[in-house]
Chains A and B, each alone.
Chain A
Amino acid sequence: MNVKILFLPILLPFLAGILCILGRKQRIFAEGISLVAAAINLFIAFVLFGKNINFNLPWLSFGIDVSLRLYHFSAFIILAAAGFGFLITLYSLFFMRAKEHLGQFYAYLLISVAFINGAVLADNLVVLLFFWEGLLMSLFGMIAIGNKNAFKTATKAFVINGVTDLCMMIGIVLTAHLAGTLTISKINLPLGLGASIAFILLMIGAISKAGSMPFHSWIPDAATDAPLPFMALVPAALEKLLGIYFLARISLDMFQLTHESWLSVLLMTVGVITILLAVMMALVQKDYKRLLSYHAISQVGYMILGIGTAIPIGIIGGLFHMINHAMYKSCLFLTGGSVEKQVGTTNLEKLGGLGIKMPVTLICFVITAASISGVWPFNGFFSKELVYDAALERGLVFYLCAIAGSFFTAASFLKLGHAAFFGKPNPENNQVKEAPLGMLVPMIVIAAGCIIFGVFNSLPLKYLITPILGAKLNGHHFAGMPANIKLVVISVIVLVAAIVNHIFGASMKGSGLKALDYIRYAPILSGIYNKAEKKFFDPYEIGLKIVNLVSTLSWKIDRGIDWVYDKFSVKTIFGLSMRIRNLQNGNYSLYLVLSIVSAVLVFVLFFAAL
C-alpha cells in the first residue's frame, strides 16, 4: 500500500469542506458532499485500522519534517472520529435543515475532522501544532454561526484556546530543545526540572483541548449559543478524543511519567477538582444542553484522573472512559437536539412528560444516562470502576472525590430525565411528535454502542484500548467484571443513594426539576452558586478584567503621551511665542534698555567664563 494514503483522511474531508463553502447556495450540494465525504472517511478509517505506516518528507529543515505515523492508537482515534463525524453529519441533515449558514456548518465539520486526523497522525511536533491550531479556526467558525450571542462566545472559546495553545507552543519548543528532536516517536524524556515545565505546558494544551477546568468556561456558553450538532461532535467527542490522546501520548511516550512523580499528583488533582466543581455546576442547571455541557467538563476529570494515576489500570480506565464518554455524551447531546428540534426549547421548566411522545429518544436517553452514571452493564460502569480502582490505589481522597462526583452525576441525570421526560406534561407541547428517523438512527447506533461496549467490554478493551499500552500490561486486559467487588458494592450503594436522594428531593418540592434545589439553596453553597452564575469565578472573565485594566492603563498612558505631543508642547510653544511677540511691541526705549542690559549680561558671562 502506498504510504501516501495517510494524506487521504486529512485531504479528503478538508477539500470536501472547501467545496461545501464554495457551494453554499445549494443546500443539497453541501449536504450531499459532506455525507459522502464523511462516509468515505469512515471507510478509509476502517481500512487503515490495524495497520502501521510511517511517512516522512523533509520539509523546513531544523528537524521540521512532514512526518505522519499511523499505528494502533492513532488509527483508533481516527476511526472513532470518523464514526462520530459520519453519524453527526447524518443527524445534521435533519437537524440543521432550515437553518442558516448550512454550507459553512458542514465545511467546518469536515475541516474539524480533517484537522483532527492530521493532528493525530502527526509524528512531528510542528506538524501537530499546525493541525492543532488549525482546529481553532473551525471551532471559532462553528460557534460563530450560532445565535446572536454566538460571536461573543466564539471569541471566548478562541481566546481561551489560543492562550493555552500558546502555552503548548512554548512547551513544544522546550521539549524539542531538551530532546534534540521534533519527532514525537523519538522523544522519551525523564522528568527533570526543565522537562517537568515542558510537560506542564504541553499538559495545559492537552487538557484545555479536552475541556478540563480551568479552561472550560466557553463550553457551557457554546452549549446555548452554538448549533447543537457542534456540541455533540466537537466538545463531546472530537476534542475529548484529541485532548486525551495527546495527554496519553505525553504521559506514556514523550515523558517518563511514573506514579512517584509529583506531576502525577498534579494531574490527579486537576482531575478530581474538575470532576467535583463541574458536576456541582451541572446540578443546578435548568437547561438541557447547558446541564450536559457541564457534564462534558466533569467527565474529563475521570479521564485525567485515570491517566494521571500513571498505573496501567488507571490509564486503561481513562482511555476507555474517553471513548465511552464520547459515545454517551454525544448521544445525550443528540437527544437534547431532538427535544430542541421537536419542542423548540431546551429550557427544562418548559419541558415535561415528553417520554410518551418521544419513546425512542427516551430509551436512548435512559441508556446513555445510565452509562454516564455508571450503571451496570453499560459501558460507563466498567471504565469508571477501572478509574476508581486506580484512584483508590493512589490515595483514598482521590477515590472519595471520584465517587462523590459519581453520586452528583447520577443525581443530576435523575433530575434531568425526570424534568424532561416524566412529570407533568406542558400543555403547550401536546402536538410534539417523535424525531425523524434520520435523527433517531445515529442516536440508536450510539446507544447500542454503549450497550455493546458495556456488555461485551472485552471487545473494545482487547482490540482497542489495551494494545495502546502494549507490553507494559503483561497480558492483562481488564475485561469482564471488575476485579474489586468491594468497589462495585460501594458504587451500587452510591447509585441507590442518588435515587433515594432524588425521590426525597422531588417529593419535598413536588417537582423533578427542583429535586436538587435543597443543595442549590444550602446555606454556604447558595452564595457560591450565586457568584458562579454571575460568572464570578470564570477564569476568562477574570482574565478579561485584568486585560481591561491593563488596556485602560495603557490607553491612559497613550493619551498622556498624546497630550504631551499634541497639547502640551504646542500650547507651550505658542504661549512662549505670544510672549516674545508681545515683548516686541514697538516700544523703542524698552528695546534699548533690554539691549544694554543684555550687553552687560554678556560681559558678565564673558568674565565668568574667563
Chain B
Amino acid sequence: MSHLLILVPFCCVIILNLPIRKVMRSLAPVAAIVLSLLQVVMVLCFDCHFWQTQFGIIGTFFKFNLVVDRLAILMLLCIGIVSFVTAVIARVLIKERKERFDFASLLLISLSALNGIVMVRDIFSLYVFLEIAAVISFILIAFKANLLAYEGAFKYIIFSAIASIFLLCGTSLLLITSGSTDFSLINASLTAQAFSPSIILAVGLFLVGLFIKAGVVPFHWWLPDAYSEAPSPVSVYLAGIVTKAVGVYALIRVAVSVFGMHKSICTVFLLLGAVTIVVGAVAAITQTDFKRMLSYSSISQVGYIILALGSASPLGIAAACFHLFNHAIFKSLLFVNAAAVELQTGTRDMDKVSGLSQRMPITGLTSVLGSLSCAGIPPLAGFWSKLLIVIALLSTGHFVYAVVAVLASVVTLGYFLVMQRKVFFGKISEEFSNIKEAGLGIVVPEIILAAITVGIGIFFPVILNRFILPLGG
C-alpha cells in the first residue's frame, strides 16, 4: 500500500497535465487539497501493518523497498497536514488560474517526493527523492519570478547542488565500502568494518550534505533568503515540511538506521545543535522582516531537534521526532499568520504595522498560541517536546547543553514577544485602521493548526505513551 503514497500524487499530476487542460486547470487545486487531506485521514486511520501489505501488481512493477514504521507514520501525517494547509491558503493567496494550476502540480510532485523520502530504505533512492524535492523547491521559491525571488532560489540551488555532490560522493563511497545501498546492509558492514578512513569520509560527506539541506548553522546561509523571498504558501511549505523532511528527517533516519548513533556523530550533533539554537535565536531578535524572523526561528528550532538527537538515548530520539512534528505545526501556523498579515497590510516589515489584533483577532490569537508553543510555554505542545529534550540531555549527562537549550528558550520567548508587541499588540495605526481579518481560506488553517498545537499540549499524557515514547524504539 505504501507505494500508493508516492504513485497516486505522481499519476495525478500526469493526468492533470493531459491535453484537456481547460477542465483540469480548475480541478488541480482541488485535487491537491483532496489528496493531502486523504493522506492525513489514511495515515490516521491505518497502522503500520496496513501499509506494509503488498497490493497486487503494483508490487511486482515497483520493486522499491519501502518501509513504514512509527516515525514514518508521524512524518506522513505531518506532510499531509502541512500540504493540506499549503494547498488551502494557496487558493487564496495565488490569484491567477494558471499559476494556481502550476502550483498545485508542483505541490503534488513534491508530495510524492516527500513521501518517498520518508519511506525509502536505501540511500540512493533517498538521494533521488531528495533531488526531486529540491528541484521542485527551486521552482517554488522562484514562483513570483522577480529579482529577489530569483536570488533566493539561486542561493538555494547552489547550496543544494553542493549538498547533492556531498551526498552523491558519500553514497558512492558507501557503495564501494559496503557493496550495497540498503540501510540495513550498510549498517551491518559499518559495524563489521569499524571506521576506516573511507567510511569516515563517506559519513562526513553525508552528514555535511544533510546539514546543508537542513539549514544547520554554519550551513544556513541560503535559508533566510529562500524562506522570506518565496511566496507565502511556499514559505509555509518549505519551513513547515520540506526542509524538515529533506534535511532533518533524513538526518535522523540516516543517523539512527545507517550510522547507528556512533559517539563521534553524536558529538557533532550536540555541538552543531547548540550553535544552531543560539545563533538562530540571537539572530532572530533584531530582524524586522516578519518572515525573515520566522526563518531564523526555524533555524533555531532545527537546532533543538539536532541537539536532542545528539543525546543518543531512545528518549532523545523520540523527543527529536516529537519536536519535529510540533515544529512543523506551529511554524506553519506562524508562517500562515505572516501570510495573513502580508495579505491584509501589504507589508512584512514589523516596524510599519502595529495593533493588528484589534482588526485581525483570530490571526492575533493564533499567532500568540504559535509563539508561546515555539517558546516552550506550558501547556502547549512545544513545551512538552522541549521538556523531553531537556530531560533527555540531563539524563545522558549533557548538563551544559541542557542549560543552553533552556536559556535559548528564553531568547526565543524574547523575540516572539518583540514580534507580538510590534505587530499585534498596542494601538492600531491610522494607516491600517480599516483592514479586515483575512478570508476563511487563511483563518480556517490557522484555527486547525492552533487547535492541534493546543490539543497535543493538553492531551500530552495520552500522546506521550501511545505515540512518542515508541518512536525511540
A contact residues vs B (CB 8 Å cutoff): 573-574, 576-578, 580-581, 584, 586, 588, 591-592, 594-595, 598-599, 602-603, 605-610
Contact = CB atoms under 8 A, between A and B. Distances in A.
Given A574-B286, A580-B283, A610 B200 contact: yes
Interface stretch (B43-51, B154-162, B341-349, B457-465): B154-162
Contact of A606 (B268, B285, B411, B414): B268
A598 B211 CA distance: 11
Interface string B272-290: 1000000100111111000
Given A602-B204, A606-B200, A606-B203, A577 B267 contact: no
Interface string B93-123: 0000000000000000000000000000000
B212 interface: yes
Given A576-B282, A610-B264, A595 B200 contact: no
Given A602-B268, A605-B271, A606-B200, A595 B219 contact: yes
A595 B286 contact: no
Given A580-B282, A602-B207, A606-B268, 9 more contacts: A573-B285, A588-B155, A591-B222, A595-B219, A595-B221, A606-B203, A606-B207, A607-B264, A609-B268
Contact of B221 (A577, A591, A599): A591
> Which applies to chain A's interface (DSSP): helix, strand, loop or mixed?
helix
B426 interface: no
B283 A581 contact: yes
A349 to B, nearest CB: 67
Interface of B: 151, 155, 158-159, 162, 166, 195, 200, 203-204, 207-208, 211-212, 218-219, 221-222, 224-225, 263-265, 267-268, 271-272, 279, 282-287, 411, 414
Contact of B211 (A584, A586, A602, A607): A602
Given A602-B207, A609-B263, A580 B279 contact: yes
Given A574-B285, A610-B200, A599 B267 contact: no
Contacts of B207: 602, 606
30 contacts: A573-B282, A574-B286, A577-B282, A577-B283, A577-B284, A580-B279, A581-B283, A581-B286, A584-B224, A584-B283, A588-B158, A591-B155, A592-B162, A594-B218, A595-B159, A595-B218, A595-B219, A595-B221, A599-B166, A602-B208, A602-B211, A602-B272, A603-B204, A606-B204, A606-B265, A606-B268, A607-B264, A608-B264, A609-B263, A609-B267
A99 to B, nearest CB: 55
Contacts of A594: 218, 221
Nearest to B217: A598
B407 to A, nearest CB: 10
A592 B162 CA distance: 9
B268 A592 contact: no
A598 B225 CA distance: 20
> Which applies to chain B's interface (DSSP): helix, strand, loop or mixed?
helix
A609 B207 CA distance: 15
Contacts of B151: 586
Contacts of A598: 218-219
B195 A577 contact: no
Contacts of A581: 283, 286-287
Contacts of B224: 584
A599 B283 contact: no
A599 B208 contact: yes
B191 to A, nearest CB: 15
Q: Rank and list the top 3 A-B pairs by shortest CB-CB distance, nearest first.
A: A609-B264, A591-B221, A609-B267
Nearest to A576: B282
A598 B162 CA distance: 13
Contact of B195 (A591, A592, A610): A610
Contacts of B282: 573, 576-577, 580
B307 to A, nearest CB: 15
A469 B160 CA distance: 104
B204 A577 contact: no
Contacts of B279: 580
Contact of B162 (A573, A595, A608): A595
Contacts of A577: 282-286
A595 to B, nearest CB: 5
A165 B453 CA distance: 58
B283 A592 contact: no
B254 to A, nearest CB: 14
Contacts of B211: 602
A569 to B, nearest CB: 9
A578 B286 contact: yes
A581 B280 CA distance: 11
Contacts of B285: 573-574, 577
A592 B165 CA distance: 14
Nearest to B264: A609
A26 B285 CA distance: 67
Contacts of B204: 602-603, 606
A578 B286 CA distance: 7
Most chain B CB neighbours (cut-off 10 Å) among A576, A584, A599, A610: A599
Contacts of B411: 573
A607 B200 contact: yes
B228 to A, nearest CB: 11
A103 B442 CA distance: 71
Contacts of B414: 573
A495 B162 CA distance: 112
A603 B166 CA distance: 13
A95 B281 CA distance: 75
A411 B219 CA distance: 95
A586 B279 CA distance: 18
A516 B219 CA distance: 93
A599 to B, nearest CB: 5
A370 B116 CA distance: 114
B245 to A, nearest CB: 22
A244 B283 CA distance: 73
A573 B410 CA distance: 12
A477 B200 CA distance: 109
Nearest to B162: A595
Contacts of A576: 282
Nearest to B270: A609
A584 B195 contact: no
Contacts of B283: 577, 580-581, 584
A215 B222 CA distance: 76
Contact of A595 (B212, B272, B287): B212
A594 B217 CA distance: 10
Contacts of A588: 155, 158
Contacts of A603: 204, 208
A569 B414 CA distance: 12
A607 B204 CA distance: 9
Contacts of B287: 581
A73 to B, nearest CB: 64
Nearest to B414: A573
A605 B268 contact: yes
Contacts of B158: 588, 592
B267 A605 contact: yes
Contacts of A578: 286
A603 B195 CA distance: 14
Most chain A CB neighbours (cut-off 10 Å) among B203, B221, B271: B221
A395 to B, nearest CB: 68
A581 to B, nearest CB: 6
A334 to B, nearest CB: 68
B238 to A, nearest CB: 18
Contacts of B195: 610
A553 to B, nearest CB: 29
B417 to A, nearest CB: 13
Contacts of B271: 605
A609 B222 CA distance: 28
A289 to B, nearest CB: 62
Contacts of A609: 263-264, 267-268
Contacts of B219: 595, 598-599
A599 B267 CA distance: 15
A594 B151 CA distance: 19
B392 to A, nearest CB: 19
